[in-house]
Structure formats: C-alpha cells, structure tokens
Structure 1
Amino acid sequence: MQACVIHAAGDLRVEHRSPAPPEAGQVTVAVTLGGICGSDLHYYRHGRVGDFTVQEPMVLGHEVVGHVAALGAGCEGPAVGTSVAVHPATPCDRCPDCAAGRRNICAHTRYLGSAARTPHVQGGFAQLVTVPAAQIRTLPPELPLHRAVLAEPLSVALHAVHRAGDVKGKRVLVTGAGPIGCLVTAVLRHSGAAEIVVSDLLDAPLRIAATSGATATPRADDPEDDAWTQPFDIAVEASGAPAGLRSCVERVRRGGTVVLLGLLPPGEVPLLGNIAVTRELDLRGAFRFDSEFDEAIDLLAQGLPVDAIVTHTFPLAEARAAFDIAHDRNVASKVLLLLDGTHENAAAS
C-alpha cells in the first residue's frame, strides 16, 4: 500500500508500506479520504507539534473515513464494504482519568499519527489502516464520505463548546477562523449562542466563518470594528497564537470563560495573569474529545452547515502539493487527501 510519511521537518514522502493483517478484535479499513489537520501541517513544516517532536518516520493523519476491508478473528465489527469513520484514540481505560469519564486526557492514549509517544503511533494517511474494532463507527446511509471526514475535527469543536458550558443566548468570541474555528462556530450556532463573533487576520477564512454561522467577522487587526464594543460572555481561542489568547482574555467580561483550544507554540507564552485574577476569569483547556465523535457523526448526517470548510481535494500521489496549499490560508481551509486510488489521475480540485 501507499502511505504519506513524515521523516523530518519538510521531508514528506509518499512511500510503500506493507500492511499487516488484522489481529483478533481488529478491523482493517480501506481509507477513502483523509483530512489534513493543523497538527499534520506542524509536523510537516516544523517536525513537531507543541512539545511532540518527530523522532522516527511516521504516517500522518487522524481524520479518516472509508470502507471495512477485513475483520480479525472473532471480530464482530461491521461487514466488509460498510462505510465507516475511524475514531483515532485508544485510551487505556484503566487510569483514574478514564475511570472519571475523561478518556480524552488519558496519559496513556495512543492517537493515530501522533509523535507524543515513542515508538510513534502510525497514522491514517495510508490506503489500509488497522485499528481496534471499538474505534470503528458505521456511518448513516445518508452521510456521504466527503462530509463524514469532518467528524474528527467537528468532535474537537464539540468538546471545546462543551467545555465552555451553557452557550445558549450568550455572546461568544472565537479567535481564529481556520477549520476548527469555523467548526466551533457551527456548533455554537447549533447550540443556541445569540452572537458569534469570529476574528482572524485574513478575509478568506472569515468568509467561510460567515457561512458557518458567525454573526460578525471582524479583522483581528481592526480594533475600531463595532463588533468589539461589548465584552463577551465566552471566548474560544482556536488560532494557537499568543495574540489570539491575549484578545480572548482582554475581551471577555468579568467572571467570563476563556476556552484554550488551539495549541500554542512550545515553551512559555505571555499570559495576562493579572486580568485573569482581577476579573476572576475561568480559563479552561480543551484537548481532543471522546464520546463527541458519535455526536459529530449525527450532526453531519442532520446537515450541519459545514460544507464550505472543505476547499480542496488532492490524490495521495500529490500529498506534498496538498500540504503546501493547506498551509496557505488565503486560499485553503480544510484540504482532503484521496487515498483509495479511484481518481488518482484526476486533477486536484
């Protein structure tokens, strides 16, 4: 099979790998589509994501959908040919965090395409991927794969909004209009937020945010915009930029809540600690997700308005071009890789 493998910063290769047959309790999926995540881009450009550094060749990708190709011995998974999505996390289910229902922060989790552990966990940008049967989700017949591939990033957005608490009737700021910020926006709209202000430094992602449910889309570098005149009840930092975090802390009301979702640069970053103290702000981290994956699939099947977030699809053979354009936020939002070979000779769209 062919797979998209990162070797070091800037060293991305499409290379041959030999798939292993599924063992007992495992399912092999023939991957059709994979979404390029911000973490994949960080591995490609910098060889690291936050504090996780590439130490050995690693198949990237954790946003994947496809069809069941094979079942391991005794496995009661869906039948061969069934359309499925892959939940990318395998928590230990033994630690105190798992026992407390917070499996997303399990320190022993294995996550597809992650360098958090060594040996690294190989990812989903491969034509065949084998995972425990518990990670397989059968897709509703009305949900096409090109929408289902958003289930993983939508789960991240759902978890962040859950961490924010009750958003109904609230005025909410989202900093960063990348794919995650736009998905957060769609979830906020679905959850009844009264106002959703999404800020970014670029116009193109702000236009996508508007289609996802934003009520206002001010440029982050335009302090005179009317959207800034009133404080926010809740702010979600989805850019991973220190300036975005500063904006959230400064603009949320006294006693308000700031959800830190975007991964900030490694090491220490400035924090307006005195404002957080004197205004008694709640600062809440949001990391990955757990059961939200099933909720995300249901929302996508119901028609949550997120189609504009997918802007490009490339065949696996053109993975480097896909990663390069995914980095250009002036033209791209969510970029997909087509891995099943059906349209290998098709031009990138």
Structure 2
Amino acid sequence: MRGCVIHGAGDLRVEELPVPRPGPDEALVAVRYGGVCGSDLHYWRHGGVGDFRLREPMLLGHEVVGTVVAYSPGTPGPGVGTPVAVHPATPCGVCPECVDGRRNVCRDTRYLGSAARFPHVQGGFASRIAVPASQLRALPPGLAPRRAALAEPLAVALHAVGRAGDLTGRHVLVTGAGPIGCLVVAAARAAGAARVTVSDLLPAALEYARAAGADVLVRADDPDDAGWPAEVDAAIEASGVAAGLDACLRLVRRGGVVVQLGMLPPGRSPFAGNLVVSREIELRGAFRFDGEFDAALDLLAAEPAFDALVGAVVPVRDAESAFELAADRSRSCKVLLDFGADPAL
C-alpha cells in the first residue's frame, strides 16, 4: 500500500508499505480521504510542531475517513463496509486530566501522526490503517466521506468555541482565516453568535471565511480598514501569530474572553499582558477536542455549505503537490488526499 511518510524537514515521501494487521481490539480501515492539517505542514516544512520534533520517520495524518475492512477476532464495532471517521486520540483514561473529564489534555494520550512521544504515533495517511475500534465513528446518514473529512478540524473549532462560553447574540472576532479559522466561524454561527468578524492577510482566505458565515472581513495588515470593530464580546485567535493575539486582546471588551487556539511559534511570544490585568480579560487556551468529534459529524451531516471549504482533492501519489497547495492559502482552504483509487491494492 502507499503511505505518506515524513523523514525530516522538506523530506516527504510516498512509500510502499506493508498492509497492517489489526491487533487486539483494533479495526482495519481502508482510508478514502485524509485532510492536510497545519501540523502536517509544520512537520513537512520544519521537521516538527512547536516543541514536538521528528526523531524517526513518521506516517503523517490525523484527519481521516474511510471504510471498515476487518476487525481482530471478537472486536465489536461498526459493520464491515461501514463508512467511518476516525477519532485520532486515544487518551490514557487514568491520569488526573482524564479523571477530571478533560481527556483532550491527557498527559499520556496517543494521537495519530504525532511526534509528541517516542516512538512516534504513526498517522493515518496510508491506504490501510489499523486503529483501536473504539476510535471509529459511523458516518451519520447522508454524510458523504468527502465532507466528513472535515470532522477533526471542525471538532477543534467546536472545542474552541465552547471554551469562549455562551456566544448567543454575541459579536465574535476570529483572527486567521485558514481552514481552522473558517471552521471556527461556522462553529460560532452554530453556537448562536449574532455577528462574526474575521481578519486575515489574504483576500482569498477571507473569501473562504465569508463562505463559512463571516459577516465582516478585515485585512489584518490594514489598521485603517473600516471593518475593524470598536470592540467585541469574545475573540478566538486562530492564526498562530503574536499579532493575532494582540488584536484579540485589544479589541475584546472589558471582562471579555479571548481563546488562544492557534499554536504560536516555540519559545517566548510577546503579548499585551497589562490589558489582561486592567480589563480583567479572561485568556483561555483551547487544545484539540474530545466529545466534540461526534457533534462535528452531526453538524456536517446537517449543513452542505461545508463543502465550499474543501478547496482541492489530490491523489495520494501527488502528495507533495497537495502539501504545496495546502501551504498556499491564496489558492486553497482545506486540501484532501484521495486514497480511494490506490493502484497498489
């Protein structure tokens, strides 16, 4: 079978790999689509994400959907042939965070395609993957696999919106109109936000945000843009740059909430800390998700408009071209790898 393996910065290879056998309590899934995530791009460009550095070759990918092929003996799960999405996280279940109901920040979790631990957790960008059967979610009726590939990033967005509190009737600022930022727009809308303003450097990215439901589009590099609000009730930083966090802190109202979702560069990042004090702003982090994955699938099934955020579908044999396209936000939003016609099987 074919798999997308990262060996180091700039060294992405489509390799011939053995088809895995499902181990105890595992399922074998034929992957159809895999979404190229920002973290995949970081591994490709820089050899790591934040403080997580590559120390061995690793299959990339954690946004995958496919079809159940087989199970290990006695393992329950959706029937063979069922279209499924794969929840990428396997929390330990026993650490203080898991016991406290915050499995998304489990200190010993396993996450598909992550170098956070060693040996690394191999990812889902392969024609066949073996995963714990408990991670499979049957697709809701009517949800096509292509749209279902957005479930993982949408779950990230739903978690971030949940961290912002009740957004009913609120004005929300989202900094960054990449795939996650656009999905935050859609999630904020679903949570009842009355108005959503989005900032980004690129006009093309802002148009994707409009398709996701944004009311006002603002050029992040133009402080005189008439679209900048005087203040907002809540802000979600999805760009992963210090300037985005600065904008959120300066524009959120006194006593408002800022959620840092974008992963900032490693090391120290300057921020307007005095505003946090003098305005009693609540600055909250948002990391991954847990039960929001199931909510994401339901929302995707109910809303065909999400299809507009899939900018391109590229055969796995052209994986490097797909990564180049995903890295160019002037040409795409979410890019999917297509494993469905792999001639190696």
Report the TM-score range of the alignment, normalised by the length of the smaller protein. over 0.9
Amino acid at match of 2:270: P
Residue equivalent to 2:179: 179
Within 5 Å, give how 1:301-340 maps onto structure 2. Answer: 301-303=301-303, 305-340=305-340
Q: 1:18 to 1:229 in 2, by over 3 A?
A: closer
Alpha-carbon contact 2:175-2:248 (below 8 Å) kept: yes
Amino acid at match of 1:130: A
Residue equivalent to 2:18: 18
Residue equivalent to 1:80: 80
Amino acid at match of 2:224: E
Residue equivalent to 2:52: 52
Instruction: For residue 298 of structure 1, give the secondary structure of its aligned residue in structure 2.
Output: helix
Between the two proteins, what is the percent identity of the paired residues? 60
Alpha-carbon contact 1:164-1:259 (below 8 Å) kept: yes
C-alpha distance in 1 between matches for 2:209 and 2:240: 17
Residue equivalent to 2:32: 32
Amino acid at match of 1:58: M
The alignment status of 1:43 with 2:43, answered yes or no, reads yes
Residue equivalent to 1:214: 214
Residue equivalent to 2:198: 198
C-alpha distance in 1 between matches for 2:123 and 2:186: 27
C-alpha displacement of 1:198: 0.4
The alignment status of 1:252 with 2:221, answered yes or no, reads no
C-alpha distance in 2 between matches for 1:12 and 1:153: 22
RMSD: 1.1
Instruction: For residue 12 of structure 2, give the secondary structure of its aligned residue in structure 1.
Output: strand
Amino acid at match of 2:234: I
Q: Which runs of 5 or more residues in structure 2 are unaligned?
A: none
Q: Which runs of 5 or more residues in structure 1 are unaligned?
A: 345-349
Alpha-carbon contact 1:186-1:304 (below 8 Å) kept: no
Instruction: For residue 18 of structure 1, give the secondary structure of its aligned residue in structure 2.
Output: coil
Q: 1:293 to 1:133 in 2, by over 3 A?
A: same
C-alpha distance in 2 between matches for 1:273 and 1:231: 18
Residue equivalent to 1:233: 233
C-alpha displacement of 1:343: 8.7
Instruction: For residue 162 of structure 1, give the secondary structure of its aligned residue in structure 2.
Output: helix
C-alpha distance in 1 between matches for 2:23 and 2:4: 23
Please say which of residues 271-280 and 282-291 is displaced more in the overlay. 271-280
C-alpha displacement of 1:252: 0.8
Residue equivalent to 1:65: 65
Residue equivalent to 1:243: 243
C-alpha displacement of 1:225: 2.4
C-alpha displacement of 1:192: 1.1
Q: 1:303 to 1:343 in 2, by over 3 A?
A: farther
Residue equivalent to 2:288: 288
Alpha-carbon contact 2:2-2:342 (below 8 Å) kept: no
The alignment status of 1:120 with 2:105, answered yes or no, reads no
For residues 143-168 of structure 1, the C-alpha deviation after alignment (integer angstroms, 9 at most, x for no partner) is: 00010000000000000000000001
Residue equivalent to 1:298: 298
Within 5 Å, give how 1:267-278 maps onto structure 2. Answer: 267-278=267-278
C-alpha displacement of 1:175: 0.2
Amino acid at match of 1:88: P
Residue equivalent to 2:147: 147
Amino acid at match of 1:56: E
C-alpha distance in 2 between matches for 1:31 and 1:229: 43
C-alpha distance in 1 between matches for 2:306 and 2:183: 7
Alpha-carbon contact 2:20-2:128 (below 8 Å) kept: no
Amino acid at match of 2:85: A
Residue equivalent to 1:347: none
TM-score by length of 1: 0.97
Instruction: For residue 197 of structure 1, give the secondary structure of its aligned residue in structure 2.
Output: strand
Amino acid at match of 1:296: A
For residues 209-267 of structure 1, the C-alpha deviation after alignment (integer angstroms, 9 at most, x for no partner) is: 01111010011112222332420110000000111111111111111110000000001
Alpha-carbon contact 1:5-1:12 (below 8 Å) kept: yes
Alpha-carbon contact 1:186-1:305 (below 8 Å) kept: no
C-alpha distance in 2 between matches for 1:157 and 1:5: 27
